[in-house]
Amino acid sequence: MEQHDEQTVVTNESGTGIVSDDLLVVSDLRAGYGKKHVVFDVDFHLRRGEIVTIIGHNGAGKTTALKTIFGMLPTLGGTITYSGEDVTTSNCRHNALLGMSYIPAERFVFSDLSVLDNLRLGATHVRSAEERDRLTERVYEMFPLMSERSSQLAGTFSGGQQRMLSLGIALMSNPTLLLLDEPSLGLAPALVAEIFDNVRRLADEEGLTVLLVEQNVKQALRIADRAYVMRSGRIILEETAEEMGRRKDYWDLF
Amino acid sequence: MEIQITYFNTVLIFSIFALSLNLLLGYAGQVSVAHAAFGAVGGYTVGYLFLEHDVGLVPGLVVGVVLAALAGFVVGLPALRLSTEFLILLTLAAQTIIITLITTSSSLGGTYGLQGLGPFTIFGQKLLLPSDLMPYLLVMAVLIYLVVRRFGESPYGRVLRGIREDEVVCRSLGKNVFAYKLTVFSVTAAMAGLAGVMLAVQNQLASPSLFSFDQSTAIIAMVILGGTGNLMGSIIGATVLVMLTPFFQNVLSFAPEKSSLWRLIAYGLVLVVVMLVRPQGLLPEGTTLITLGRRLIGRGASKGDGSMELASPGAGAAGVVNSMGPDGLDTDADAHALTELSHHGRLPDSGGDLWDKGEVVLSVVGLTKHFGGIIAAEDLQMDLRRGMVTALVGPNGAGKTTVFNLLTGAIRPDAGQITLRGKDISGLRPDQVANQGMARSFQDVRVFPRLSALENVMLAIQGQVGEHTSGLFLHPRATAQSERDTSDRAMEWLSFVGMTSFASHQAGGLAFGQQKLVALARVLATEADVVLLDEPASGIDQQWVEVMLGLIEMLRDRGQTICIVEHNLHVVGRLADHTYFMELGRITAQGSFEELTSESRLAEAYFGTA
Amino acid sequence: MPSFGEFAQFTVAGLISGSAYALVGVALGIILSVTGRFHFAFMFTYAISAYAAAQVGESYGFSFWPALLFGALVGTVFGVVIEAMVYRPLAERSGAYTLLVIFVASLGLTIAGTNLIQLIWIDSASKQISGFTNAGYFIWGLDLTKLGLIQVAIAWTLIITLGVVLSYTALGRVVRAVRINPEMSLVVGINPRIVFLQVFAIGSFMGGVAAVLNATQTAAKPDMGFTPLFYAFVVAFLAGLGSHPVRVGIVGLAVGLVESWSALFMSTRWTSLVVFGILFIYVALRPVNWSDVRRRRRRQPVTV
């Protein structure tokens, strides 16, 4: 098990304890699918307002870790603490209410529904219609294309546009933590930069904390503050984005 | 006494129904709700021939059974490519069509059916009383039991169970799944036809209600209750459910009308309760009276319910590698197994430089596949050389898995040629490709969960006599010998991966890393010239990765031709003698791993640009 | 060669029966497409609705419309209970075998339930729905019945209402979301369990209405649900699971018309074979792209 510079203290079960500016603390996480364990003894933490990226080869367990944090997969060991609260056994609905939002790597929109319906679904937990409209307007401001084509079916948009929409959907729940899974997947290189710029902009403007899983190391490092590297289910390295960006290549990390 | 014998006869008849359905549903995993309808074909044939053409029982029976087999074939043919949901619909349609045809045909007696059948004569003896019929039914039931058991508890049955668990993997091991399915559909329909004939004879009547959808459900209930894949269980299930009628009537003193309703209600409840409480049925697969007795007494390992979890590699697997000396062999039984398995000589250290000198075993030229507008593979050209590990790497979506699918025939290429040991295998089916000498493993492992580790590997051994009906029934001694040899060879492969102590464990109960080792043994047991390993290092922890790498290196040193798809570049760097770099369906670079990783353009393709 | 008058009459008959097929097709279709459960027991909730309506009319003097509503609600309750107490627990523990296990259980429920109905109402071979006085009309040279017109009107009202609900209400949006992308619906915080129950309620209700109308026309019998279940499968699959209700409805009309028109050329005994034959051929010949629906279903998380 790796030791990090200890800026945080993991809270105990009753929620008391010393909490620093860490929004998310993951400790000794073990995760997988039934018998197939994919993540082994993983530790990391996110401070509020940070953009942290997890990079690593396909199948390293990055998506599994993300899904487990969000509650889509059961935790097989370890703890997850969010904003001081133990969410190790929480399901996604509870985590969504707490302010987590997850954007999958594939099939990240409701393709047979309109843009507006997609956004409305993102606001499933929003109580008042006014609040929902306000959030919708905010998304439209950020992504004018969505406003123009709000009744168009999501599946008819290009890959990059669908990605934008997925960001919009996530924003509709007014999240505090954004869990982003491989936003560059399947996108033409030109669009990739644009998506990442949007993520950075959102994080800055909305004060979002972002945990970003990526294969496209260069782009991720462009917007991230810190980076973890996973290989075969374990974290093998943690560096600042700057440090990692200075590396010549990443072959030995993958 | 005759009343009791009547019930006994009914039990025998439904045992035949249940045993045959178990072969189709329990062993081969084909869900059919049409079983009673095949019985109708038999029963109505014998009845019609008797009434209209004075045909005797024996010829009528033969015709009925043949027609039922034909009906099974006709239903089985479209069923070959269907998933479970559609198979249910297809057999539901078949059941309904057959019964509707019967009910609406005036020449078949409509809703009342063909009445007044019999008394039949068999070998000169008139069958008037139930006790007259009983010996023949007993002989038939025993015969069917023996035949079904021969099919099911044999190399042939092992293939059926493999089909049940995972058709695709079965095909990749060289089994012609379509042929097996068609055979089982036809044979079990014929047996149902036989039961239908005797049901008509017993009741002296062939009516739609005798062979209705309710009846098909009753037979399913018998199989489910007794346990899928368990023949004793089917007989028990048939007995229990048939005897419900006298139970309700005599023990609980219900009126006959109510009894039959309660019986049907009981059938339904049996199905629901068994699913909720014990889906595998009363008796687990493969249990016989002997093993049941043994288990009750406490002897014998519990093979069926095995759910052994091991978090770390067993002593076996790691032990094999750890105890390896510098030359890759040690002195215990596993090493002996290795030398047994050696077919090829050992090559000298093959590094990247020697790649060009290796013999080309698999050659791919111009391989292309488009899915609509998406280019999955474009004009691929690659060689796999003997005794070398060739790796396919590339960013997400590069098309690496598609290559495996194209090579093994799971997908038909749009263009291109694949040559294995000089023979063109382009366009062959997956089972044919396996027979020609190329086998693959799967990224999600896909062991046959309800088969033991040993059975998993045994399925991969090629050329088994007992896997074909001719060998199975006509050459029992050759089959038995072949089975012994198969078992021995499979054990050797299990020993190679260090899993001998888990041979009789249910594969589904093993830890994931252990399953990967079993799957590796399985693909190796095909003794294919070319082995394609899909992500051999994924989903397992460091220690297990080390074990896998060690095994693959051993194989390579023995002269095996291997191709791997891997995302863990650390593994690729260590194993690969030659690497192909793929992007968006094209091979854009090749060479040694060091050569490729020193190219900045490839780094850009893999890690993106700022 | 049939006369135009005959042809028109048979067309009308086909439209009427087709509307009934449309209704059950939509009802079963929404259950299948959203939940993926092989809900054979639709046959049972169908029949029990008719019996409940008949009984409540007989014992408590309910007039036709309240009895219809009552019967449909009884079917609804049974449908929801089956999902909550049988299908869901089975799905949670059966993993890869879920489809099969649920089918077997559904089959069992159907057989047990259908025969239980027969047992409870053992004294009557069938039951009549009371309180409906039919009337005949002769319009444009066609013989029409009041019941036939009501059947068409109710069926299409329900179908169109469902279409509107799905397209324009929050509930409809959520239901479609679960059908289209189960993972994303979890992500946005939808509770699929509740949606499943809602869908079973909707489907069972619509099926129940169809059953009572059917029983009004003929009578309620214990196995009355078998043929409608069958036709529902045919219609739902021919239209494509996940299609808009109106589209499914139109396919239902088409099936009704094909069946009715074939009666012009063959005895009515054989016309049902035409429909069964259509299913057989469709299943046999369709390309193996059921994998799309399977893929959708396989992604469905077991529970949350």
Nearest CA in chain C to A72: C304
Does A152 map to a domain? Answer: yes
Write down the pLDDT at residue B327: 29
Give residue A191's identity as a one-letter amino acid code.
L
**What average pLDDT does range C173-196 have in this prediction?**
95
* Mean local confidence (pLDDT), C55-80: 94
The reply to whether residue A107 touches residue C177, judged by beta carbons under 8 angstroms, is no
The larger pLDDT score, comparing residue A250 to residue C1, is at A250
The helix (run of H) or strand (run of E) holding residue A168 is helix A159-171
Tell the residue number behind the tokens 């009578």, with chain if given.
Answer: C219
Of B542, B568, B608, the CB nearest to A218: B608
CB B491 within 8 A of CB B500: yes
Strand partners, B362: B384, B420
Q: Measure CB to CB from residue A120 to each of C173, C186, C191 and give the nearest one.
A: C173
Q: Which chains touch C (3 or more CB pairs under 8 A)?
A: A, B
Smallest Cα distance from B34 to chain C, Å:
13
Q: Between residues 48 and 107 of chain C, which touch chain B (CB distance below 8 Å)?
A: 86, 89-90, 94, 97, 99-105, 107
Asked, for residue A168, whether it belongs to a domain, the answer is yes
The predicted model gives B509-520 an average pLDDT of: 94
| Closest residue by Cα to residue B552 from B528, B539, B533 | B533
Strands (E) across B323-359 are located at none
Q: In chain C, how many H helices and how many E strands?
A: 13, 2
The mean pLDDT value for C213-238 works out to 94
How many percent of chain B have pLDDT more than 90? 69
C91-102 pLDDT, tens digit each: 998 888 888 899
Asked whether residue A77 is assigned to any structural domain, the reply reads: no
Q: In chain C, helix, strand, coil percent, each to 5?
A: 75, 5, 20
pLDDT at residue C265, rounded to an integer: 86
Average confidence score pLDDT of chain B: 87
CB A243 within 8 A of CB A250: no
Q: How confident is the model at residue B111 (pLDDT cuts 50, 70, 90)?
A: confident
Q: Which residues pair with A213 in a beta bridge?
A: A54, A181
Residue C292 predicted with pLDDT over 80: no
Q: Is A100 a domain residue?
A: no
Residue A104 is nearest to which of C170, C183, C191, comparing CB atoms?
C183
Q: Please give the average per-residue pLDDT across B320-347, as a whole number.
A: 38
B88 vs C contacts (CB less than 8 Å): 38, 103
A93: closest chain C residue by CA:
C189
**Confidence tier at B198 by pLDDT (50, 70, 90):** very high
Residue B610 and residue A182: Cβ atoms within 8 Å? no
How many CA within 13 A on the CB side of residue B356?
3
Confidence of residue B589 (pLDDT cuts 50, 70, 90): very high
Chain C residues with CB-CB distance to A120 below 8 A: 170, 173
Closest CB to B568: pick one of A219, A222, A232.
Answer: A232
pLDDT at A155 over 70: yes
B439 strand-pairing partners = B531
**pLDDT band, very low/low/confident/very high, at B293 (cuts 50, 70, 90):** low
Contact call for A120 and C170, based on CB within 8 A: yes
Tell me, what amino acid is at C283? V
pTM of this structure? 0.89
Q: Helix (H, G, I), strand (E, B), or coil: what is residue C131?
A: coil
- Cα–Cα distance between B370 and B376 in angstroms, integer? 5
Q: Kindly report the backbone phi and psi dihedral angles of residue A67, in degrees, each rounded to the nearest multiple of 5, phi listed first.
A: -65, -35
Residue A184 lies in a domain: no
DSSP label at B357? G
- The chain C residue lying nearest B30, using CA atoms, is C100
Each residue's pLDDT tens digit, C104-115: 999 999 999 999
User: What number is the average pLDDT over the span B257-283?
Assistant: 86
Residue B4: C-alpha distances to residues B222, B249, B322 (Å): 20, 13, 67
Nearest to C279 among B89, B103, B270 (CB): B89
Question: Does A39 map to a domain?
Answer: no
> CB distance from C288 to chain B under 8 Å?
yes
**Three-state secondary structure readout of B173-212:** CCCCHHHHHHHHHHHHHHHHHHHHHHHHHHHCEECHHHHC
User: Taking CB atoms and an 8 Å limit, are A124 and C184 in contact across chains?
Assistant: no
Q: Does A35 touch chain B (CB under 8 A)?
A: yes
- Tell me if chain B has a CB within 8 Å of the CB of C230: yes
Q: What is the mean pLDDT of residues A147-161?
A: 92
pLDDT band at A250 (very low <50, low <70, confident <90, very high): confident
B349 φ/ψ angles, rounded to the nearest 5 degrees: -50, 115
Kindly indicate the confidence band of residue B298, based on its pLDDT and cuts at 50, 70 and 90.
low
Query: What distances in angstroms separate CA C34 from CA A74, B87, C81, C172, C300, one per listed residue?
Result: 24, 20, 17, 12, 10
Strands A77-82 and A85-86, how do they pair? antiparallel
Q: Residue A48 corresponds to which tokens in the numbers above?
A: 């509020």
pLDDT at B343 over 70: no
| Nearest residue to A72 via CA among C34, B54, C300 | C300
Residue A92 to residue C190, Cβ atoms within 8 A: no
Which residues in chain C are closer than 8 Å to A34, comparing Cβ atoms?
95
Spatial contact of B534 and B404, defined as CB atoms under 8 Å apart: yes
A106 at B interface, C-beta within 8 A: no
Instruction: Chain B: give the shortest CA distance to residue A20, in Å.
Output: 33
| Greatest mean pLDDT among A46-50, B85-89, B187-191, C227-231 | B187-191
- CA C68 to chain centroid, in Å, comes to 16
Contact call for residues A245 and A217 (beta carbons, < 8 A): no
Provide, as residue numbers in chain C, all residues whose Cβ is less than 8 Å from the Cβ of A92. Answer: 186-187, 189, 304
pLDDT at C128 over 90: no
What is the Cα Rg of chain C in Å? 19
**How confident is the model over A25-60, as pLDDT tens digits?**
999 999 998 878 899 999 999 999 999 999 999 889
The first and second tokens of residue B565, run together, are: 């798809």
Comparing B257 with B36, the larger pLDDT belongs to: B36
Least confident piece of the model among A175-189, B262-276, B347-361, B501-515: B347-361
**Measured between CA atoms, how close is A237 to chain C, in angstroms?**
29
Lowest mean pLDDT among B192-201, B356-365, B458-467, C71-80: B356-365
- Report the gap between the CA of B111 and the closest CA in chain C (Å): 12
Element (H, E) at A112: none
Tally the domains of chain A: 1
Which one of C99, C111, C279 has the shortest CB-CB distance to B84? Answer: C99
Whole-Å CA distances, C17 to B101, B519, C256: 22, 55, 6
Q: Are C231 and C24 in contact, with CB atoms under 8 Å apart?
A: yes
- Point out the residue among A215, A216, A232 whose CB comes nearest to the CB of B545: A232
* B9 pLDDT tier (thresholds 50, 70, 90): very high
φ and ψ at residue A235, rounded to 5 degrees:
-85, 125
Residues in chain A within 8 Å Cβ distance of B544? none
Nearest in space to B200 (alpha carbons), one of B74, B3, B68, B73:
B68
Which is more confident, B399 or B452? B452
Residues of B engaging A, defined by a Cβ cutoff of 8 Å: 309, 395-397, 510-512, 515, 535, 537-542, 545, 567-570, 573, 597, 600, 603-604, 606-610
Inter-CA distances, A103 with A71, A87, A193, C1, C157, Å? 13, 19, 18, 63, 39
Chain C residues contacting A, CB < 8 Å?
95, 170, 173-174, 176-177, 180-181, 183-191, 242, 299, 301, 304
Write the pLDDT tens digit of every residue in B417-442: 999 999 999 999 999 999 999 999 99
Q: Which residues of chain C have a CB within 8 Å of the CB of A103? A: 187
Question: Is the bond leading into B119 cis (omega within 30 degrees of zero)?
Answer: yes
User: For residue B601, how many other CB atoms are within 10 A of its CB?
Assistant: 10
To the nearest 10 degrees (0 to 180), the angle between helices C268-285 and B57-79 is 50
Find chain A residues with C-beta within 8 A of C192's C-beta: none
What's the mean per-residue pLDDT of chain A? Answer: 88
Q: Is the pLDDT of residue C44 over 70?
A: yes
**Within a domain: residue A205?**
no
Output the pLDDT for position B283. Answer: 67
- Tell me what the mean pLDDT of segment B104-113 comes to: 87
Contacts of B204 (CB under 8 A, 6+ apart): B115, B116, B117, B118, B119
- Partners of C286 on chain B (C-beta within 8 Å) are 86
Average pLDDT over residues C241-267: 93
Q: Tell whether the model's pLDDT for residue B260 goes beyond 80.
A: yes
B353 pLDDT band (50/70/90 cuts)? low
Return the closest-CA partner of residue B81 out of B189, B184, B181: B181
Does A8 have pLDDT greater than 60? no
Inter-axis angle of helices A159-171 and A189-206, nearest 10: 10
Residues in B closer than 8 angstroms to A233, CB to CB, are 541
Output the pLDDT for position B254.
Answer: 82
Cβ neighbours of residue C281 under 8 Å, at least 6 residues apart? none
Q: C111 and B271: CB-CB below 8 Å?
A: yes
Helices (H), B22-56: 35-53
For an interface test with C, give the residue of A64, A67, A92 to mutate (most C CBs within 10 A): A92
3-state helix, strand, coil in chain B (%, to 5): 60, 10, 30
User: Residue A35 has which token pair?
Assistant: 């018998």
**Separation of alpha carbons C10 and C264, rounded Å:** 8
- Eight-state DSSP code of residue B343: -
Over residues B529-545, the mean pLDDT reads: 92
Strands B578-583 and B389-393: parallel
pLDDT of residue A189: 77
Q: What is the dihedral of CA A159, A164, A166, A172, to 10 degrees?
A: -160
Placement of tokens 């600042």 in the chain = A240
Q: Do B31 and C103 touch (CB under 8 A)?
A: yes
Cβ contact, residue pair A111, C173, below 8 Å = no
User: For residue A117, is it within any domain?
Assistant: yes
Instruction: Provide the residue type at B456 as one letter.
Output: N
Q: Does residue B397 register a pLDDT over 60?
A: yes
**Strand B114-115 with A234-240, pairing:** unpaired
Q: How far apart are CA C84 and CA C37, in angstroms?
A: 12
At B295 the pLDDT is: 63
Q: Is the pLDDT of residue B284 over 50?
A: yes
- Which residues make beta-bridge pairs with B374? B371
User: Could you give the CA distance from residue A7 to residue A24 in angstroms, rounded to a whole number?
Assistant: 12
CA distances from B323 to B311, B329, B332, B502, B524 (A): 21, 8, 9, 20, 22
Tell me the CA end-to-end span of chain C in Å, nearest whole number.
61
Residue A163, domain extent: 110-174
> In this complex, which of A92, A108, A122 lies closest to C304 when CB atoms are compared?
A92
Mutate to test the interface with C, among A33, A110, A133 (most CBs of C within 10 A): A110
For residue C150, the distance in angstroms to the closest alpha carbon of chain B comes to 30
A122 shares contact with chain C (CB less than 8 Å): yes
CB pairs under 8 A between A and C: 68
User: Among B512, B603, B609, whose Cβ lies nearest the Cβ of A36?
Assistant: B512
